[in-house]
Amino acid sequence: MKYVNTLDGMEKLMEFFQLLGIECRKVDFDKDGFSRTIRFFANGEEYEIVWFKNECTLKFKGIRVKFCYIEEDITYPVKADIVLRFQYEEIEKWSDIRLLINASTRKE
């Protein structure tokens, strides 16, 4: 399943996390009650995704990774419950980073 950087994609990603038992919620609401930030817990750590239409940012321990697409990668050869691939499209090339999530390390 692929999630693109639209508000609809943000909601669908949160639903996907919740189906997998990954605790997630919107944070950092503005004065109108709107939030672009999802906070979730995996591998015993806290992550945030700041969601914009043209570009999103995955934040973890001071690291920031820009991306435009999130995809569940079912072909990556590792022993993990879920592999999420964060992709950023540039002119004629792709770069990506993978987040491996194990059920035993999710925050309860």
- pLDDT at residue 92 in the model: 41
- pLDDT at residue 53 in the model: 77
Q: Each residue's pLDDT tens digit in the chain (108 positions)? A: 555 556 677 888 888 888 878 889 999 998 988 898 999 988 888 999 998 877 889 999 999 988 887 877 776 667 777 778 787 765 445 566 777 777 554 454
pTM of the predicted model as reported, rounded to 2 decimal places: 0.76
Burial class (CB in 10 A: 0-12, 13-18, 19+), 75: exposed
